[in-house]
Structure 1
């Protein structure tokens, strides 16, 4: 077992890439202030293991971190062949689910849900 790995990229703005992580109490304190949060909202298979963010927990993380903007990542890519026909919801929906949860739990955070391969420009 290894601890989750996330990191902050510092430049003219601070961007937090959460990696594969779960929600933890000291998240805001350990990460510090950020302008953008890239938050995982899904996984590669039909279920998430313990210690991972789903759309609701990622929205809670956005509320804790308080970035100006958040982008859901880590969903709809690595998926077992044929599972999109069996469980399309888990493959396609986590980004929009995150946006819905974030509107409720972190309304001050601007959420951008890009299509696969789409670039996101943040103000």
Structure 2
């Protein structure tokens, strides 16, 4: 009979230990899923910001190229492309708006908006 009690105690301890380990592993699993989701969200935001920065650079480069080509060749086509980009396509402005969703109120974003304003003033003198 003494042996039966020991087996019951061992079984109870085994069940308790199994339950504790189950709760622990489940908690780690839930925590890992949350951390993964946070990492995924941060990566998605990084990619969106990188694409917006690339769009900003592409828009600026395109405007510069069209002005240079117009000055070099005098062909109206380049001026029309410049005006179309500046007035309708507006890649730079769209990119700054996208970045504002993440960085509004930061010094870096304020500097970016100021640079865009200066660039727009320069565009007024170019036209």
Common topology (TM > 0.5): no
Q: Which has the higher contact order (CA 8 A, sep 6+)?
A: 1
Q: Which is greater in Rg? A: 2
Report the TM-score, using the length of structure 1 for normalisation.
Answer: 0.31
Which structure is higher in helix share? 2
